[in-house]
Amino acid sequence: MITLVIVLNLLIALLCLLGAWSFLQLRRSLADITFTLTEAERNTHEVLYGAPENIRNGQLGLYELRQAYQRSGLQLQRMQRGLLLLGLSRSIWRPRLRSRKRLRR
């Protein structure tokens, strides 16, 4: 009977040892996962820390670029109108100048 109790106690002790070993392996795995996730979070933070400011700067730069493009479009329209008027004035005055030259001859 004592032998049976001792064998049962040994089996229970081995099962407890196996359970403790499994928990230790689980703890190590969880520690590795925690370390990996912490490193990923740290790297992500380093990469994205300045993102809001960079996005704002990019939006501001884009806004200024659009304003400059709009101003240059207006300037282009003014120049085209000026050249058109210059061309019209030359075509209007050119025949008169030719007729005056003919009269002088």
User: Whole-angstrom Cα distance, residue 41 to residue 35?
Assistant: 10
List pLDDT tens digits, range 87-105.
888 878 766 655 666 555 5
| Weakest mean pLDDT among 36-45, 60-69, 92-101 | 92-101
CA distances from 83 to 47, 62, 72, 88, 90 (A): 52, 31, 16, 8, 10
Question: Cα dist. 7→3, 11, 15, 21, 102 in Å?
Answer: 6, 6, 12, 21, 137
Question: Token pair for residue 2?
Answer: 């004592």
Q: What pLDDT band is residue 25 in, cutting at 50, 70 and 90?
A: very high
* Better-predicted residue by pLDDT, 42 or 50: 42
Q: Is the dihedral of CA 81, 87, 88, 90 positive or negative?
A: positive
Query: 0.75 exceeded by the pTM?
Result: no
Mean pLDDT of 69-84: 92
